[in-house]
Amino acid sequence: MQAVTLSSGTSMPIVGFGVFQVDDGATEQAVADALAAGYRLIDTAAAYRNEAAVGRAIAASGIPREELFITTKLWVQDAPGEANALRAFDASATRLGLDYLDLYLVHQPYGDYYGEWRALQRLHAEGLARAIGVSNFMPDRLLDLVLHSDVVPAVNQVEVNPYYQRADEQAQMTELGVQIQSWGPFAEGRNGLFTDPVLRAVGDECGRSIAQVVIRWLVQRGVVVIPKSVRPERMAENLAVFDFELTADQMARIAAVDLAASQFFDHRDPHMVRELGTARVD
């Protein structure tokens, strides 16, 4: 598996497996199938309410801990202040059955994320989080955090897909030493992604599916990506992207389908600031 090296020195697989919207009952099997398919990076979050099931699958897999790369995320409610965030980390680690995390992320740029970041810096210094990062930070919020913190986030996990490519933001992150990670690589199928004529034509040229073209396109851009599927055949398909290469012309044609707009919502929309900022995870 191809990997990137984070600013923390940690090696991170470039393709991983995400479990958002996989309910707790289905998660253990999905993660077991993903590990069997060869995924080693698993991406969950306290807000997904399936950390315990992820933990059971990890324990049952028998895969040595050092071969895995486990990410979870701190929810908005686990602030203000460092103490609340540290308690939330302990709860997540306990649910996952792990004594350290490979990557711990501030899930949303809302509330007291500076307090959360100070807690994450402490967890990183203590070796409990091998790398720390953020998610859904727009360029202004990311730069402000970098300017006013001791540790630069190793990762910013944001929506990236063919319709929201964020090349300028990736350039800014690279300059700051922040690794970009894509969530929603298929835009969950929105805007007709799985029937897109440009992606289909490129796929036909390579003898690959649209999903594989999208994952390969992200890998060639140096974007870490965590596709989600509950179907073993798709898990394998989404991982089988290391034995072909897109040409410069194919990359350029995919670049041209960019709509430069989120396929979900803008994290700066006041409606979402209220909805996500006040959502509670039991």
Residue closer to ligand NDP by CB (options 151, 187) is: 187
Beta-ladder partners of 4: 12
Can you tell me whether residue 201 is helix, strand or coil? helix
State the number of binding residues for ligand NDP (CB under 6 A): 26
In the complex, the smallest distance separating the C-beta of residue 190 from ligand NDP, rounded to whole angstroms, is: 8
Residue in 48, 104, 163, 164 annotated catalytic:
48
Task: Indicate whether 157 belongs to the interface with ligand NDP (CB under 6 A).
Answer: yes
Pick one of 1, 4, 20, 36: the residue that binds ligand NDP (CB under 6 A).
Answer: 20
In the complex, the smallest distance separating the C-beta of residue 70 from ligand NDP, rounded to whole angstroms, is: 12
What x/- string results for residues 177 through 206 when contact with ligand NDP is judged by CB under 6 A? ------xxxxxxx----x------------
In the complex, the smallest distance separating the C-beta of residue 267 from ligand NDP, rounded to whole angstroms, is: 9
- In 53-210, DSSP assigns E strands to 69-74, 101-106, 129-135, 155-159, 179-183
Q: How far apart are CA 119 and CA 69, in angstroms?
A: 21
In the complex, the smallest distance separating the C-beta of residue 97 from ligand NDP, rounded to whole angstroms, is: 19
Query: What does the block give as tokens for 86?
Result: 């540290």
Q: Is residue 39 among the annotated active site residues?
A: no
Task: Indicate whether 162 belongs to the interface with ligand NDP (CB under 6 A).
Answer: no
The sign of the torsion formed by the CA atoms of 19, 25, 29, 32 equals positive
Q: How far apart are CA 59 and CA 52, in angstroms?
A: 10
49 Cβ neighbours under 8 A, 6+ residues apart: 24, 281, 282
Site for ligand NDP in 213-252 (CB under 6 A): 226-231, 234, 237-238
Can you tell me whether residue 69 is helix, strand or coil? strand
Q: With left for phi above 0 and alpha for psi between -120 and 50, is residue 115 left, alpha or beta?
A: alpha
Site for ligand NDP in 24-43 (CB under 6 A): 43
Q: Using an 8 Å Cβ cutoff, are 72 and 96 in contact?
A: yes
Residue closer to ligand NDP by CB (options 15, 19) is: 19
In the complex, the smallest distance separating the C-beta of residue 234 from ligand NDP, rounded to whole angstroms, is: 4
**Residues with catalytic roles:** 48
The residues that touch ligand NDP, with contacts defined as CB under 6 A, are 18-20, 43, 135-136, 157, 183-189, 194, 209, 211, 226-231, 234, 237-238
